[in-house]
A and B are shown apart, each in its own frame.
Chain A
Amino acid sequence: MAILPISLGVVPFGVIAGAAMVESGIPPHHAIAMTIVSFTGAAQLAAIDLIDQTAPVAVIVLTAVIINLRFMMYSASMAPYFRRFDALTKWLGAYVLTDEAYAISISRFRNGDLSIHSQKWFYFGAAIPFWATWHLSAALGVVLGTSVLSGVSLAFAVPLTFIALLIPDLNDRPTILAALVSGGTSILLGFFPFNLGLVTAVLIGIAAGSAFEQRSTTQSDRTAATDTGCETA
């Protein structure tokens, strides 16, 4: 199954998310229930990071939802295939929709070699083991708890996890530029109240990335661009 290596790759990420939850003082069984209710990787880690800083509730929720806006894109992309599924499949399928389940399913669906029935089970066959792996590893993090993240520098595992998620996503120059601009701006706007610097930096980064993309598609052969590779941000 194609989902296996990807699922295993998410284990350390889930362990850290679970550990960060109990580290913030959330009781273990509540931490697990919250993980199931939200079922969101990077956004959960970002939320717990902001909860630790006692950022305003609206900013925490807004940040998490912005991180998850990409699910709307996956939802739109999957919609034509989900159209003929029954209602239960749609509602349950939406809950277990992740980056990983989307990536694996959409490439297979586009091949066009699966019947509707097989598509449904291919999707759940990828999405449900991933869901289970995420929660088992988060539960492991909750149990290990402070012993995983104790000590100031172990909390640094959280931004390191973000790096591990960020780097494979930097596939082209507009994305690299958007990330650099967003990272740089987030430092400069760190003094903004209510952690609004984060949201502002993200919007400026997206604007920079898409402006650069527009420019390079209009004059496509010019390849003199910003230095790639070193992502200091």
Chain B
Amino acid sequence: MMTEYGLRTIWMIFIAIGIGTYGLRLSFILILGRMGDPPPYLSGLLRFIPATVLAALIAPTLAVLSVDPGVGFEVDYAKVAACLVAVGIAWRTENVLATICGGLGVLWAVQAVV
């Protein structure tokens, strides 16, 4: 994959992400040093962010709903199988490398057979 963006634009993206992320990290440390734990409603909402973002990044690689020329739904079954195995490995071992290798192994095996 190659992006259509030039190096300048990519730099701007990463600088913006860097500033934004640093601002989030620094926010309460700098400003609200006197506060105790964050208000419960805030941490209650924020705690769902990692899981929801990751799920929303994973899911579209497995299935695509298209609406443009007509409604269509395509599922990549080889990747679904690979993901299920990866989920199992991640759940059992919590090991990043084992999860990646297991998932890729299943994907290659299924693609070789089909």
| Interface residues in chain A, defined as those with a beta carbon under 8 Å from any beta carbon in chain B | 9-13, 16, 23-27, 30, 34, 37-40, 42-44, 46-47, 49, 51-52, 54, 57, 60-61, 63-80, 82-83, 90-91, 93-95, 97, 153-157, 159-170, 174-176, 178-188, 190-191, 197-198, 201-202, 205-206, 209-210, 213, 230-233
Contact = CB atoms under 8 A, between A and B. Distances in A.
B46 A69 contact: yes
A185 B56 contact: yes
Given A77-B37, A80-B35, A182-B55, A71 B7 contact: no
Contacts, number: 307
Contacts of A57: 5, 9, 12-13, 16
A213 to B, nearest CB: 7
Nearest to A26: B10
Contacts of A210: 44-45, 48
Chain B interface main SS type: helix
Given A79-B29, A95-B25, A185-B56, 13 more contacts: A23-B1, A51-B10, A57-B5, A57-B13, A70-B47, A73-B38, A73-B46, A80-B34, A160-B100, A166-B54, A178-B48, A182-B55, A183-B58
B7 A26 contact: yes
Given A78-B29, A210-B48, A95 B104 contact: no
Contact of B96 (A61, A78, A161, A233): A161
Contacts of B95: 9, 164
A153 B54 CA distance: 19
Contact of A191 (B62, B67, B80): B67
19 contacts: A23-B1, A26-B7, A34-B11, A37-B15, A60-B13, A71-B24, A72-B28, A79-B35, A94-B29, A159-B58, A164-B99, A165-B96, A174-B48, A179-B51, A179-B55, A182-B51, A188-B65, A198-B56, A232-B80
